[in-house]
Amino acid sequence: MKRSDMMKAINLISIAFGAIAGTYARYLLNLSLLYTGYPIGTVIENLLGSFILGLLTGFFVWKKPKEWIKLGLGVGVCGGFTTYSTFAGDVISLTQHHLFWGAIYVIVSLVGGILLALAGYLCGEAAGGNLVKVHEVK
């Protein structure tokens, strides 16, 4: 097996295991919030996932991980934890019954997701930059 084929296999395995972890975390979060009757679990998952992906992206500007780590955490864990399809289904369901709450759901999810991704990016970039500075001092 060629080295490039081996790296592709490692990347895919990393994504698969990350997706399992992210999906399981999403499932547990949703189970714990079913009693609310509102899709708050999906909002939390997508907002938290946006922050974490931003954090990783900002951190990886300074700290260059192996590709399989980057893919496993970003594509795998964050991809498995967040869910666009459930968000879309929730929007349709909410707007059919409560247009106002459906609109609030969309605004909070989209604007909040973008703002939290930016906040995560800035935090990750600051953390990564500080790590580089610590290593430069030594």
Known binding positions for Na(+): 79, 82
Q: Which is nearest to 29 in space by CA: 51, 46, 50, 16? A: 46
How far apart, in Å, are the Cα atoms of 134 and each of 61, 127, 129, 138?
16, 11, 9, 7
How far apart, in Å, are the Cα atoms of 135 and each of 38, 63, 69, 131, 138?
47, 11, 21, 6, 5
Binding residues: 79, 82
Torsion angle, alpha carbons of 45, 49, 50, 53, to 10: 180
